[in-house]
Amino acid sequence: MLYEEFSDFFDVARKRHIIFFYVGYFSQHVVAAISETIKARLDTAGAAGPTRRRIFSSFVEMSQNIMHYSSDSLTPDSQAENQIRRGSFCIGMKDDSFFLLCANPVDSANVERIRNRLDPLHTMTMEEIKSAYKKALRDDTPTDSKGAGLGFLTMARDASEPLEFEFVKDTHNPDATIFCIKAII
């Protein structure tokens, strides 16, 4: 029975060309450990230097989003320095590209704010994204951001296609929505 359960999961991961998958709580220590594993996996996958940099950059942004905004937290909000929050992350390959997929619960009241930050990125050119990134560096941090407000712009800048995202009602928590985001690099 145990092997069967593992085998089923392993077969799905292999068919979808998943090279790394994690689900659980994210902390600075977990992200550091995952970073080392991702670097090693990308080396064995033969990823070129610029591609590895873009993948790693997007992984860091996705991890930061989980640690700052996941609504499932083991730590109080007042403990801003060492947040531990739940989410999932995977890297896979499709054809000659890598994809990064991240999911975590967010407070349903924040869905429109997140959507309003992501929707414009679909119509922006790469030059417009780079310009918006530079502008965000100069501007003050948005009041609703726990960082510099650069995460989605960084992922969009690093991606080879527009970011994909989806919001799905959390069936286990009526106040939460699962936020999924995907970057293709």
> Is residue 64 situated within a structural domain?
yes
HSE-up of residue 41 (Cα within 13 Å, Cβ side): 18
CA distance 54 to 139: 24
pLDDT at 116: 94
Query: pLDDT value at position 1?
Result: 64
Integer Cα distance of 58 and 183 in angstroms: 8
- Residue 171, domain CATH: 3.30.565.10
Domain ranges, residue 140 = 14-184
In a domain, 2, yes or no: no
Total count of domains within the chain:
1
Per-residue pLDDT of the chain (185 residues), as tens digits, is: 688 888 888 898 999 999 999 999 999 999 999 999 999 988 888 889 999 999 999 999 999 999 999 999 998 877 777 889 999 999 999 998 999 999 999 999 999 999 999 999 999 999 999 999 988 888 766 666 565 568 999 999 999 999 999 999 999 999 999 999 999 99
Distance CA 84, CA 92 (A): 25
Say if residues 129 and 159 touch (Cβ distance below 8 Å). no
Asked whether residue 7 is domain-assigned, the answer is no
